[in-house]
Structures are given as C-alpha cells and as structure tokens.
C-alpha cells in the first residue's frame, strides 16, 4: 500500500514567504486564475477546500447583480442578513445590522449652502453641494459621528485638499464609475509616499466623482492613533484606526472603506521597490466577505514618487520608537520640511469590483487559506493596474 | 396567574444616589412593577416623599452599607426583605469617590465588595430570579485612536497597570459576568459609558466625575466620549427588567463628543499639558488633595476614546435611547447641559 502523499506547498506569484497547502492536489499556480471564470460549482479550488473541510461542496449563494445605477428610492432601508452571516468564529452573533445604511443625498437633492468662509467661496457650486452632503454622514445631524468624524471640520479643511488635488498633484481619475453608488464596499489601493497624501487624494477623488457623494473612510495604522494632533485630525476627517470592530461597523453601516493592505510596509519601501506591492494584510478580505461587500482594487500612481526613500535607518527608528526612519533626497536634511511631497502628478485608477462574497459566501471568512488566496487576487489586480498605468 | 402576582418587586441598590434615584423613579412609574425596595446609605431622599406617603405603600427604603458583610447579612435575612418578596435585584454601583476611596472588605474597593455581596445574596435568596447590574464601559481595552467601536465581545483591559478606579469596574464586571448563563439566576449586565444629567453632572467617568474644575489632559489628544443620559440608563434598566434575556449589553445614548466638549459642557474644561508633565501634575494635584480622579487615571483613558456598538441591546432588550444630550439656555439665561426627549 502506497503511503499518502505529503501535502504540496504551492508558492504564490512573487510573494515570498506565503504558501498555500493543498493536499493531494497537483501543483498549480494559485494566482493567475480568475475565480469567476468558470462555473462555481465545478471550481476545483472550491472542491479542494470542501475536501479540506471534509464536507461536500457548500451550496453557493445566488449572486446579486452589482448596483451601478443611482437608487430610485431614497428612503433608508435596513439590510436583513442571512442566517449564515451571523456566525463569527465562535464569537457572539453580532453581524446583524439593524441600522439603516448611512447615506448622503444625491447632488440634485442638495440645497446649495451659503459659503461659510473665503476658502469655500473659491469652490464651485458642485463641490460645495458635495461638501454639504457630508453633514448627512453623522446620525441625526450630530456634530460628530461615532468615529469622531466632524462634517464641519471636514468642510473647513476640504478647500486646502481640493487645491492640492487640482493644482499640486494634478490628479487624473479613471474608472470612478466602478465605485458602488450605495452599500458597503472596500477600496483597496497601493500605498506609498512618506505622508499619506495618496489616501487624502483618493478621499477627495471619491467625493468629487460619486453621486450621491460618498466619503471614503480610510483605515489608518494604529501607530497614527498614538500621534498627538494627528490622531484627532485623522478622526475629524473621517478616518478610522484599523481594528476589526471599526471596519466591520463601517461596512455593516453600508459605508465605503478605503484600505491600504500593504500597511506600513508600503510606506517604508525604498525607491528600488517603487510600485512593487509588498506583502498584503488580509483582514480587509475577511471583513468584506463577512459584510458581503465588493472589493474595488485601485491604483494610485504618483504616490511612490512623491518622496522616494533611499534607505531606512532602522536603528534610529528603534531609538525614536517610530516604525521607520527614512532617508530621502530632502529628509532629514531639510528638517520636517523635507517630509513634504514633491509636486508629482497623480493618477488614480479604479479596477473592476471583485464580488468575492457572491462566490464564496460569508462563511469563507473563516477559512484563512481562502482569505489569503483572495487577498492575493486583489493584490494581483492592483499590481496589474499599476503596471498598466505607470 | 393573576395580574397582581405578575407585578415585579424590585430591589434597587444605591437608591439614594442620582442614578439610583432615577432608576427608582422610573420603576415606580412602571405599571408592571409592584414594590420597589431602595437601599441607600443616607436618609430617604426627598424626591421619594410622595411615594413614601402612598397607601398601600409601594416604596420601601432601608439604610444599608452594602460593602459591609454584617450589614448585608442583617438586611437580606430581615423580615422586611422577606415580606417584600423581591424577585429582581437592580444593582446600581456607587459613585467614583465612594467606589475606590473607601476600603470595603480586606482592602477591596467598596464597589467590588458591594458587587460580590449583592450577587452572593441574590443567589442565596430563593425568591430572586433576576439580577440586573449596571457596569461601566471603561472596562474595555482601548486600541490607539481617537475613537474605537467596541462591542460586547471586545477585549477587557486586564493589564496589571490599570488604574484602581477602572480596576474596580473590571472586577465588578467579571463578578457579574461569571454568573451570566447560570440556571439559578438571570443576570443582565449593562455596560454604560459616561452618564450625564441635566445641569451638567457627570458620573462614572474616570476623568470627569467629581466636582467641576480644570482637568489636565495630554496635549494633542481629545478622545471621543460616548454619553448617555441618566434617564436613558433608567430606560435601559427597565428594558432589561422586562426582557428575559441574560448576558452583557452595551447601552449608550445618541451623542458621542470629544472629551474637551463634554468638559466645557459640564464645567470641567481641559487643560492641555505635555504628556510627560501630566504625571508630575497629577502627583502634585493628588498631594494637594485636588485631583483624586486625575491622579488615579492612566494615560490611555486620556488619549484614546471609544463608542459603543449597542445593536445587541436594541435587538435583545429592545432598548433604544430616548434622550438627547446638548446645551440649552436655562432660565437664568446661561447655557447648560440638558437632556431632552429625542
């Protein structure tokens, strides 16, 4: 009798250190295969996962058509979750959403407000309407939402970021029609540059190109939450610290979440690695599956050129208790001014949304192998967008 | 079962303190509640004069020091308590200064000692079927950030360096949490954030509780602070009383505002000081006897904020906040904190 074959370890494309164990399977590339290309029932990957679990292929939920048109009715609706989506890795069933989704009105429904300051007078009417829509983000017109977002503070700061968007970074946007007009969605982008202007420009871009205007809630590193003033500024602008509860709460609320799955690795990569995606964190895929949200891969071209890092002085970083200590052509030679970005041209490109939840269902979030696999699918898509648009 | 036997007879601890008083009043106006037995350490609050004079009496008040074993035993074995046929105990913890400043049994903070004794006697008393305990939402471990969403499944802060004020809340929480799911007693634990009342009083906040005045806080941080009105605390208690669900429930009001805003609303403005100087300042304040709350609070609560995911309480208890919190102009023309129906 032949002994059972040991599980083969498959390397994923250009992701050192990552592996996917598939027992009794032929070695095949895990990446480079479109999970939507074939009939889901006969998908060998799904079958193998079922074998791994020791169960038959699970019935897959009926796919729902993606929403691409603005909704007709504006009344808030509550989302009834499926019973399976309430399971949460042994935790109590908390995913049941009883809130109406947070929505902003459409542009033609917004009354043009009077400009509140000189800077706001410089904005055109359409942009001011979009800014006014942000007041609907806080429940009941409250001054702060539950993550500390202040519509008033965002409206005050927006003219500056709008000027950066138009004049300094000269942002060109493509494919923004792929951002879902309503409901939960995850925007997954590459990360680069010392200061997170890629996040800021993406938030401005989404706000300027969606109807109803949507606020992308950028997920920031926990380290940012420890920085004086920065933590308050980020919160008032609508950004949230990347904890599981925060992200799930936003998605359950039907909001748009902007993630940088590379995390700090993307920011501190040196100039030789520019536009090469680093290892991905996978929590965003897990959250998207649980919340049944599509993932929109997107590329921000320009961010890696705004402050090229020559090398990272890790010893100094440890001493100063910071994640990294970069040396750029201008930092630390010019002091804090050296951190400012160069006036590079930005190009923001949105890819086709990936509806993993329709194929795999919310239970797939409990399968770490599948989650890693799907994260690499997103990674591949972003890398392709970067390579095509650089 | 007749209608009269369906009425609930409720024991409320710390019924002489503001939140306890609010709970007692709400219960006395509840048509499904029969008798209310309030415990306190002072004289009968004047707010209850009307109810004391009622005939037949629905309200009974007793002076009991719940942190003392002997005092508790005497009360729970007394004829008055047996005759009341209490079926539900609502445990309202005492205030901050009393909770940690006064030793209970063997040096255990009074708040913790009270929680133990109340639970013990509720378990020992055959007629008691339900225990509703109010706890603090400051028991959670806070991740760095101005505001973090916390659900009932979020981690508790079990660090050894937790300030004694918060440690006592965590101990109480764990004492009651240990009985959730037990057959003998239905235990519902309500975790509430900062409680505010009309007039600008603040309770159960490790930083803002206590008399009005300046509060030092680290410069560059202004954590978000979830608020709940004392009237909503009473509503949540009623909801838990009439529900048959046990477990832990986050309850909170509509408003979440930065700590500096709560401070300015309630006459406790913040004094931003550099982080390293904060420890020195709190030590001096403690030495002068002017900063009891500040000296006991670590850095995390002053830097990182939270809001509560209350969907579980809405789903299982049917609780939704009824009151909004904000500034309103009082009769003397001055702005002050008010709670008003939403």
Q: Could you tell me which of B100, B38, B34, B89 has the C-alpha nearest to residue B67? A: B100
Establish if A244 touches chain B: CB-CB under 8 angstroms: no
- Show pLDDT as tens, one digit a residue, over chain B (342 residues): 444 457 999 999 999 999 999 999 999 999 999 999 999 988 888 888 888 887 778 899 999 999 999 999 999 999 999 999 999 999 999 875 544 445 555 556 889 999 999 999 999 999 999 999 999 999 999 999 999 999 999 999 999 888 888 899 999 999 999 999 888 999 999 999 999 999 889 999 988 888 888 888 889 999 999 999 999 999 999 999 999 999 999 999 999 999 999 999 999 998 888 877 877 777 776 677 655 444 445 578 889 999 999 999 999 999 999 999 988 887 788 888 888 888
CB atoms within 10 A of CB A337: 9
At residue A97, the pLDDT reads: 45
Pick the range with the lowest mean pLDDT from A134-148, A244-258, A337-351.
A134-148
Is the pLDDT confidence value at A71 over 80?
A: no
A202-213 pLDDT, tens digit each: 999 999 999 999
Establish if A141 touches chain B: CB-CB under 8 angstroms: no
A-B CB pairs within 8 A amount to 106
Is the pLDDT confidence value at A80 over 60?
A: no
Inspect the interface and report whether the beta carbons of B257 and A143 lie closer than 8 Å: yes
Question: B149 to chain A: nearest residue by CA?
Answer: A246
Per DSSP bridges, beta strands A240-241 and A216-220 are parallel
Beta strands in B199-292 (DSSP E): 201-203, 215-218, 224-229, 247-250, 256-258, 270-273
Establish if A101 touches chain B: CB-CB under 8 angstroms: no
A355 vs B96 pLDDT, higher one: A355
Establish if A381 touches chain B: CB-CB under 8 angstroms: no
Establish if A7 touches chain B: CB-CB under 8 angstroms: no
Per DSSP bridges, beta strands B8-12 and B88-91 are parallel
Which residues from A are below 8 Å from B149, CB to CB? 146-147, 243, 245-246, 249
B119-122 long-range contacts, CB within 8 A, separation 24+:
B119/B91, B119/B175, B119/B176, B119/B179, B121/B72, B121/B73, B121/B76, B122/B89, B122/B185
Question: Do residues B161 and B226 touch, judged by C-beta distance below 8 A?
Answer: no
Q: Could you tell me which of A63, A7, A60, A14 has the C-alpha nearest to residue A276? A: A14
A308 vs B3 pLDDT, higher one: A308
Which residues from A are below 8 Å from B307, CB to CB? 146-147
At residue B209, the pLDDT reads: 84
Per DSSP bridges, beta strands A295-301 and A185-189 are parallel
At residue B336, the pLDDT reads: 82
Q: Could you tell me which of B213, B263, B210, B211 has the C-alpha nearest to residue B97? A: B210
What does the DSSP 8-state code read for residue B217?
E
Is the pLDDT confidence value at A245 over 70?
A: yes
At residue B138, the pLDDT reads: 95
Inspect the interface and report whether the beta carbons of A96 and B220 lie closer than 8 Å: no
State the Cα–Cα distance between residues B210 and A69, nearest whole angstrom.
Answer: 54
Structural domains of chain A in order of their starting residue, each with its CATH number? 8-53 (no CATH), 145-306+341-389 (3.40.1130.10)
What is the full DSSP assignment across A68-134?
Answer: -S--S--S--B----GGGG-BTTB-------SBPP----GGGSPPPPP-SHHHHTS-HHHHHHHHHG
Interface test with A, best of B140, B141, B142, B147 (most A CBs within 10 A): B147
Inspect the interface and report whether the beta carbons of B143 and A144 lie closer than 8 Å: no
Pick the range with the lowest mean pLDDT from A18-32, A345-359, B271-285.
A18-32
Distance from CA of B287 to the nearest CA of A (A): 28
State the Cα–Cα distance between residues B46 and B217, nearest whole angstrom.
Answer: 37
State the Cα–Cα distance between residues B323 and B342, nearest whole angstrom.
Answer: 5
CB atoms within 10 A of CB B271: 13
Inspect the interface and report whether the beta carbons of B309 and A245 lie closer than 8 Å: yes
What is the full DSSP assignment across A115-127?
Answer: P-SHHHHTS-HHH
B69 in the Ramachandran plot: left (φ > 0), alpha (ψ -120 to 50) or beta? alpha
Is the pLDDT confidence value at A279 over 90?
A: yes
Distance from CA of A250 to the nearest CA of B (A): 10
Inspect the interface and report whether the beta carbons of A245 and B150 lie closer than 8 Å: yes
Work out the average pLDDT over A18-22.
Answer: 40
Inspect the interface and report whether the beta carbons of A235 and B307 lie closer than 8 Å: no
Inspect the interface and report whether the beta carbons of A146 and B256 lie closer than 8 Å: yes
Q: Phi, psi at residue A175, to the nearest 5°?
A: 80, 15
Q: Could you tell me which of A199, A224, A204, A201 has the C-alpha nearest to residue A215? A: A204
Inspect the interface and report whether the beta carbons of B147 and A140 lie closer than 8 Å: no
Is the pLDDT confidence value at A278 over 90?
A: yes
Which residues from A are below 8 Å from B151, CB to CB? 94, 245
Question: Do residues A179 and A206 touch, judged by C-beta distance below 8 A?
Answer: yes
Q: Is the peptide bond before A332 cis (omega within 30 degrees of 0)?
A: yes
First to last CA, chain A: 56
Question: Do residues A195 and A164 touch, judged by C-beta distance below 8 A?
Answer: no
Which residues from B are below 8 Å from A90, CB to CB? none
Q: Which residues pair with B335 in a beta bridge?
A: B329
At residue A45, the pLDDT reads: 54
Question: Do residues B18 and B42 touch, judged by C-beta distance below 8 A?
Answer: no
Q: Which residues pair with B324 in a beta bridge?
A: B340
Predicted TM-score (pTM) of the model is 0.82
Distance from CA of A148 to the nearest CA of B (A): 6
Which residues from B are below 8 Å from A142, CB to CB? 254-256
At residue A26, the pLDDT reads: 39
Q: Could you tell me which of A344, A354, A332, A336 has the C-alpha nearest to residue A390? A: A344
CB-nearest to A140 from B218, B254, B309 is: B254
Q: Could you tell me which of B56, B16, B63, B66 has the C-alpha nearest to residue B35? A: B56
Question: A229 to chain B: nearest residue by CA?
Answer: B220
What is the full DSSP assignment across A237-291?
Answer: TT-EE--HHHHHHHHHTT-EEEE-TTTHHHHH--GGGTT---PPP-HHHHHHHHH
Question: B143 to chain A: nearest residue by CA?
Answer: A222
Inspect the interface and report whether the beta carbons of A245 and B154 lie closer than 8 Å: yes
Residue A298 — very low, low, confident or very high, per pLDDT cuts 50/70/90? Answer: very high
Question: Do residues B255 and B324 touch, judged by C-beta distance below 8 A?
Answer: yes
Inspect the interface and report whether the beta carbons of B256 and A226 lie closer than 8 Å: no
Using DSSP, state whether B83 is helix, strand or coil: helix
Question: B256 to chain A: nearest residue by CA?
Answer: A146
Which residues from B are below 8 Å from A144, CB to CB? 224, 256-258
Which 254-313 residues of chain A touch chain B by CB within 8 A? none
Residue A96 — very low, low, confident or very high, per pLDDT cuts 50/70/90? Answer: very low
A278 vs A78 pLDDT, higher one: A278
Q: Could you tell me which of B275, B108, B98, B38 has the C-alpha nearest to residue A227? A: B275
């Amino acid at each position: 009798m032949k002994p059972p074959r040991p599980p083969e370890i498959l390397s994923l494309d250009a992701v050192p250190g990552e592996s996917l164990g598939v027992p009794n399977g032929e070695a095949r590339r895990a990446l480079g295969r479109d999970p939507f290309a074939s009939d889901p029932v006969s998908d060998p990957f799904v079958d193998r996962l079922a074998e791994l679990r020791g169960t038959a292929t699970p019935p897959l939920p009926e796919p729902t058509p993606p929403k691409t048109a603005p909704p007709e009715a504006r009344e808030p609706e509550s989302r009834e979750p499926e019973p399976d989506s309430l399971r949460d890795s042994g935790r109590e069933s908390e995913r049941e959403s009883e809130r109406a989704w947070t929505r902003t009105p459409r542009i033609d429904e917004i009354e043009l407000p009077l400009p509140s300051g000189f800077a706001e007078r410089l904005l055109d009417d359409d942009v001011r309407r979009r800014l006014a829509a942000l007041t609907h983000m806080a429940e009941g017109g409250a001054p702060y939402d539950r993550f500390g977002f202040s519509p008033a503070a965002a409206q005050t700061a927006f003219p500056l970021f709008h000027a950066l968007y138009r004049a300094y970074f000269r942002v060109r946007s493509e494919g923004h029609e792929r951002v879902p007009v309503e409901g939960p969605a995850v925007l997954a982008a590459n990360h680069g540059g010392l200061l997170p202007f890629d996040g800021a420009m993406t938030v401005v871009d989404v706000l300027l190109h969606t109807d109803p205007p949507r606020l992308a809630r950028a997920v920031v590193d926990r380290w940012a939450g420890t920085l004086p003033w920065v933590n308050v500024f980020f919160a008032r602008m609508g950004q949230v610290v990347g904890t599981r509860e925060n992200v799930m709460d936003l998605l359950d609320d039907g909001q748009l979440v902007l993630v940088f799955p590379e995390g700090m690795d993307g920011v501190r990569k040196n100039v030789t690695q520019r536009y090469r995606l680093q290892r991905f964190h996978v929590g965003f895929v897990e959250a998207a599956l649980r919340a049944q949200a599509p993932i929109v891969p997107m590329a921000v071209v320009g961010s890696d050129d705004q402050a090229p890092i020559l090398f990272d002085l890790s010893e100094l970083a440890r001493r100063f208790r910071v994640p990294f200590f970069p040396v750029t052509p201008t930092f630390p030679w010019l002091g804090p001014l050296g951190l400012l970005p160069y006036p590079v041209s930005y190009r923001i490109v949105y890819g086709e949304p990936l509806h993993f939840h329709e194929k795999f269902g919310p239970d797939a979030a409990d399968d770490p192998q599948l989650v890693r696999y799907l994260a690499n699918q997103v990674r591949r898509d972003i890398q392709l967008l970067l390579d095509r648009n650089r | 079962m007749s209608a009269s036997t369906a009425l609930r007879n409720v024991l409320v601890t710390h019924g002489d303190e503001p939140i306890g008083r609010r709970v007692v009043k709400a219960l006395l106006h509840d048509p499904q509640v029969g008798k209310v037995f309030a415990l306190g350490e002072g004289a009968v609050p004047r707010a209850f004069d009307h109810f004391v004079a009622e005939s037949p009496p629905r309200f009974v008040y007793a002076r009991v020091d719940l942190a003392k074993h002997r005092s508790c035993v005497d009360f729970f074995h007394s004829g008055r308590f047996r005759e009341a046929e209490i079926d539900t105990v609502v445990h309202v913890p005492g205030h901050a200064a009393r909770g940690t400043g006064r030793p209970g049994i063997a040096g255990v903070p009074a708040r913790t000692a009270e929680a133990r004794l109340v639970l013990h006697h509720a378990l020992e008393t055959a007629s008691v079927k339900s225990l509703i305990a109010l706890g603090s939402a400051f028991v959670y471990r806070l991740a760095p950030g101005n505001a973090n969403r916390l659900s009932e499944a979020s981690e508790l802060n079990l660090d050894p360096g937790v300030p004694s004020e918060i440690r006592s809340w965590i101990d109480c929480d764990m004492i009651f949490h240990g009985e959730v799911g037990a057959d003998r007693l239905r235990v519902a634990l309500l975790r509430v954030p900062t409680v505010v009342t009309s007039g600008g009083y603040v309770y159960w906040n490790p930083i803002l509780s206590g008399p009005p005045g300046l509060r030092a806080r680290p410069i560059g941080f202004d954590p978000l602070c979830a608020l709940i009105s004392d009237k909503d605390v009473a509503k949540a208690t009623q909801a838990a009383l009439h529900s048959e669900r046990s477990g832990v429930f986050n309850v909170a009001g509509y408003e979440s505002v930065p700590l500096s805003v709560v401070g300015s609303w309630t006459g406790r403005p913040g004094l931003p000081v550099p982080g390293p100087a904060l420890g020195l300042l709190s030590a001096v304040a403690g030495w002068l006897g002017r900063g009891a709350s500040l000296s006991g609070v670590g850095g995390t609560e002053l830097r990182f904020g939270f809001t509560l995911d209350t969907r579980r309480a809405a789903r299982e208890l049917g609780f939704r906040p009824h009151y909004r919190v904000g500034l309103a102009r009082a009769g003397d023309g001055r702005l002050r904190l008010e709670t008003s129906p939403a």
